[in-house]
Structure 1
Amino acid sequence: MNLPNKYLESMKEILGQDFDAYLKSFEDTRLYGLRVNNLKISTEDFLKISPFKLTPIPWIENGFYYEEDEKPAKHPYYYAGLYYIQEPSAMTPANVLPINEGDVVLDMCAAPGGKSTELAAKLNNTGLLVTNDISNSRTKALLKNVEINGCNKICVLNEDPKLIADRFSEFFDKILIDAPCSGEGMFRKDNKLIKAWEKTGPEVFSEIQKSVIMSGAKMLKPGGMMLYSTCTFSKLEDEETIMHLLNNRDDFELVDIKPYEGFSHGFEISSEAKDKNINKTVRIFPHKMKGEGHYVALLRKKGDNEINNIRYISQGFNSKVPTEVTDFLDSFNFEYDKKYINIRGTYVYLVSKYMQEEKGLRIIRNGLLLGEIKKNRFEPSQALAMALKLSDYPNVINLDVKDERVVKYLKGETLDCDDFTDVKDGWVLIGVSGYPLGWGKFKNGQVKNKYLAGWRWM
């Protein structure tokens, strides 16, 4: 691999006698990982039905390596949201940030959504997850991933962090910042990043990171926790960014991260950094662990933890909810508070009571999209299907994973289901192995496919 001389020199300075071992790691086989979505299925239960050869990732409780010849993205369980495909080291930040049920959480630079889906699983459909990315195109992938994984207490934003900070001062219990970076830790995985590094190196990203982390500091409640991470090795982007925060905000302190074999301490880049306990931050090097390069720092905002019990509670909406909507929602096991239903045009949303007013924000999705009102009828959404358990709805077609109709459904085809004699005409929830895939309309033994076109099996 043609690594730039400037980069090699910086790595020699960082690694010292470990430099040759690092270079040798480029000869290793690329690693592939998936993380079980515990919002939908326990890790134990997933292992009982998994068709893949999996090896546990030692420091991620619900993370596994899979073999290169496996194709988990082309399996019905992926479409059911039972797991998320993610590079092993990239699972670390959301794993390290402690989340309690009921927390109000921000994932500031979230696309494509891997860390957000794990944060949502930890929240377990409580509290609120605000997940944001400044890139409009990447935010579309973020929305799809949080919805396919069944996240429902969400708000998806497409905003500059500075503008979010102006609206959400000391609002969040927990914040995750997986900052834009030069990507040095991913050179082994994707050599196209090398050319990007030569055009836009650590110096450019360092300024972005300082701005982003200071915005995060403004939005975190006293007593709250903030996780900063990158997939780069540059001290400028890692330790120096943390020192920028600590030097400008004396109300922040570094917190110990649970040690795992292979984790390296952050570098004590100065006596001041040593005094600030910069060695509590963690570096992941590919020659020491089975994962790509990563940097992780866990910070606490000093102050009374009791302030976390003081919640912003929205007054709700004055939406006049049509009976066709409430009739549908009341027909199955779905808990909701009518005053938090928001109708915008023909679309119906269920919004978290912790979400502030929407005005002035570029919102991609606020709350769970329940469905759409069409000519005095209500059509449930794909997002609602993914947020349910199959047992929540009274009219179900549950297909075996080996049934050819599963793939036909995911391709958008009409299904012959006259063997399901107990199914009634009308809306039916289609599932695989007990987990929802989406909606259909059942009549005379056939299912008219309502699977979302943009999600279909290709």
Structure 2
Amino acid sequence: MQLSEKFVSYTQPLLQEEWIDFEQALEQESPTSIRINPTKAKGLLIQSERVLWCETGYYLAKRPSFTFDPLFHAGAYYVQEASSMFIEQVFRQYLNDDIKVLDLCAAPGGKSSHIASLISEESLLVSNEVIKSRSFILSENMTKSGYPNVIVTNNDPSDIGNKLPSFFDAILIDAPCSGEGMFRKDPHAVEEWSPANVQLCKERQQRIVADVWDALKPEGILIYSTCTYNKLENEENINWILDNFDAEILPIETDANWNISQAYNNEVLAHHFFPHKVKGEGFFLAAIQKKGNVTFENLPSNKRNKKQNTAKPQTLALEYKKYISRHEEYTFFDKNGLWFAFPEKQYEAFLQVSSQLKLVSAGIYIGEFKGKDFLPQHSLAMSNRINKDAFILHDIGRETAIAYLRKEALVFEDQPKGYILLTYKNVPLGFIKNIGNRANNLYPNEWRIRTSHLPDETTDLLQIVLG
């Protein structure tokens, strides 16, 4: 890897005697890691090493073709860089109650799906992405993760800060950065690096923090992270936050065996991940608490924008409500002929968010009526709240599963007519409508596997033990 002279001249003094080890690590292959979805795959990886700071994180000995693993498409696991799984420690140490969380720069969804697995069922997660095209990718990945208490939005940070004051108990800003920590995985990041770009990123990160700060409740926690090494985007920005806002930094307990580094010269209570010390890429994280007391005046308003068409609870037949387990804990509503369910305890919060922000997806999209026929949707199949007893189940092999994921025509002559929930290793994969001589493949067209290639090697990562 050819590092620019300016990058070397800036970074080498920071690492001092560790520079040679760091430079050598950049020449090594980047490790592959995944995080298990605990609601879909209660099992163990085959002969795999654990990620020390994440209870559901594992390393793989080599990178397989995830595209051809049906369990990947079923949301049983997520391919996520190991260092970034460290956000788990902030939630476990400080955020254990029923809370409202914003993941501000959330696409493609690794950290959001991780957060969803960490917060309680009575909590709310808003996953936001400012770039519209990326918000659809975020929505797809959050749908596959299966958590019903999630809203995906497509808004600028200033929209959220202005429209939802003191709304969130925690905000994650995984800030757009110069990408130094991704040099091993992204050669373009090496080519595009420059001191000017670092300065530009630093200023953009400050604007993002300032724009969304008002949405954080007093005593709420801002989690600030980047995938870069330099002080400008990390330590200097943390000091800028502390200097410009009424806030204090929080310590995060770590194990010495994790080999996570402290901030340069211990300037602030923050953590660096370096590839020569941990099995992962470059990463930086700090947790900051907003000072002040929660009072009546700074509680979020329950008022909604009446000009917008907010969803209203309607009547859905009990037969279809029972598609969801513990359906009595959900509010069911109709929007333009489409039926959704959202956890009742956070429904009022959902209405607030939906009246103020641009929604991409939310809760469980159950289905829609086509004449007298109720067509179940893929969001329901992916939900970890689906009531599998409400459907005819048919477990299929890998070859048939890949054909289904390619949205190919299928035939199930030995199965009854009607809607059937296909599973792979007993994990829901999606719906078909069997009409006898053929089956209508209901897998979302935009999510289908587009390549006709099928590798000889079987990707079989998990031993599934159903809950």
TM-score normalised over the length of structure 2: 0.85
Please list the CA deviations of residues 400-442 of structure 1 after superposition, one character each: whole Å capped at 9, or x if unmatched.
5x4532222222234333445xx5x322221112211111113
2:429 pairs with 1:437:
yes
SS in 1 for 2:26: helix
1:241 corresponds in structure 2 to 237
SS in 2 for 1:10: helix
2:8 pairs with 1:14:
no
Distance 1:108 1:403, change over 3 A: closer
Residues 394 and 420 of structure 2 are in contact (CA less than 8 Å); yes or no, is this contact kept in structure 1? no
1:334: how far off? 4.9
Matches within 5 A, 1:262-277: 262-268=259-265, 274=267
Residues 391 and 419 of structure 2 are in contact (CA less than 8 Å); yes or no, is this contact kept in structure 1? yes
1:255 corresponds in structure 2 to 250
Residues 102 and 123 of structure 1 are in contact (CA less than 8 Å); yes or no, is this contact kept in structure 2? yes
Distance 1:156 1:27, change over 3 A: same
Q: Partners of 1:266 and 1:253 in 2: how far apart?
A: 16
Q: 2:411 aligns with which of 416, 422, 426?
A: 416
1:296 corresponds in structure 2 to 285
Residues 89 and 252 of structure 2 are in contact (CA less than 8 Å); yes or no, is this contact kept in structure 1? no
Residues 263 and 283 of structure 1 are in contact (CA less than 8 Å); yes or no, is this contact kept in structure 2? yes
2:440 pairs with 1:451:
no
Distance 1:365 1:91, change over 3 A: same
SS in 2 for 1:9: helix
2:142 corresponds in structure 1 to 146
TM-score normalised over the length of structure 1: 0.87
SS in 1 for 2:108: coil
Q: Partners of 1:337 and 1:62 in 2: how far apart?
A: 27
1:379 corresponds in structure 2 to 375
Residues 101 and 122 of structure 1 are in contact (CA less than 8 Å); yes or no, is this contact kept in structure 2? no
1:286 corresponds in structure 2 to 275
2:464 corresponds in structure 1 to none
1:348 corresponds in structure 2 to 339
Letter matched to residue 16 of structure 1: Q
Q: Partners of 1:317 and 1:137 in 2: how far apart?
A: 24
1:60: how far off? 1.8
Q: Partners of 2:431 and 2:140 in 1: how far apart?
A: 16
Q: 1:57 aligns with which of 51, 54, 64?
A: 51
1:388: how far off? 3.9
Residues 155 and 363 of structure 1 are in contact (CA less than 8 Å); yes or no, is this contact kept in structure 2? yes
Residues 113 and 146 of structure 1 are in contact (CA less than 8 Å); yes or no, is this contact kept in structure 2? yes
Residues 409 and 440 of structure 2 are in contact (CA less than 8 Å); yes or no, is this contact kept in structure 1? yes
Letter matched to residue 221 of structure 2: M
Q: Partners of 1:306 and 1:83 in 2: how far apart?
A: 41
Matches within 5 A, 1:25-424: 25-41=25-41, 45-47=42-44, 50=45, 53-98=47-92, 99-100=95-96, 102-198=98-194, 201-249=197-245, 251-260=246-255, 261-268=258-265, 274=267, 278=268, 280-304=269-293, 319=312, 321=314, 323=316, 327-330=319-322, 333-335=325-327, 341-343=333-335, 345-351=336-342, 352-355=347-350, 356-388=352-384, 391-400=387-396, 402-420=397-415
Matched positions, count: 436
1:92: how far off? 1.8
Letter matched to residue 37 of structure 1: N
Please list the CA deviations of residues 196-236 of structure 1 after superposition, one character each: whole Å capped at 9, or x if unmatched.
22396210011111112223432111222221000011111
Distance 1:312 1:359, change over 3 A: closer
Q: 2:419 aligns with which of 423, 427, 434?
A: 427
Residues 323 and 387 of structure 2 are in contact (CA less than 8 Å); yes or no, is this contact kept in structure 1? no
Unaligned runs of 5+ in 2: 451-467
Give the % identical residues.
30
Distance 1:348 1:314, change over 3 A: farther
Please list the CA deviations of residues 157-195 of structure 1 after superposition, one character each: whole Å capped at 9, or x if unmatched.
111101110011111111111000000111122111122
Q: CA RMSD, aligned part only? A: 2.8
Moved more, 179-188 or 434-443: 434-443
Distance 1:172 1:389, change over 3 A: closer
Letter matched to residue 87 of structure 1: E
Moved more, 447-456 or 382-391: 382-391
Unaligned runs of 5+ in 1: none
Q: Partners of 1:297 and 1:357 in 2: how far apart?
A: 27
Residues 438 and 450 of structure 1 are in contact (CA less than 8 Å); yes or no, is this contact kept in structure 2? yes
Q: Compare relative contact order (CA 8 Å, sep 6+) and give the higher one, 1 or 2.
A: 2
Distance 1:136 1:112, change over 3 A: same
Q: Partners of 1:199 and 1:7 in 2: how far apart?
A: 8
Q: Partners of 2:11 and 2:323 in 1: how far apart?
A: 61
SS in 2 for 1:27: coil
Distance 1:144 1:339, change over 3 A: closer
1:23: how far off? 0.8
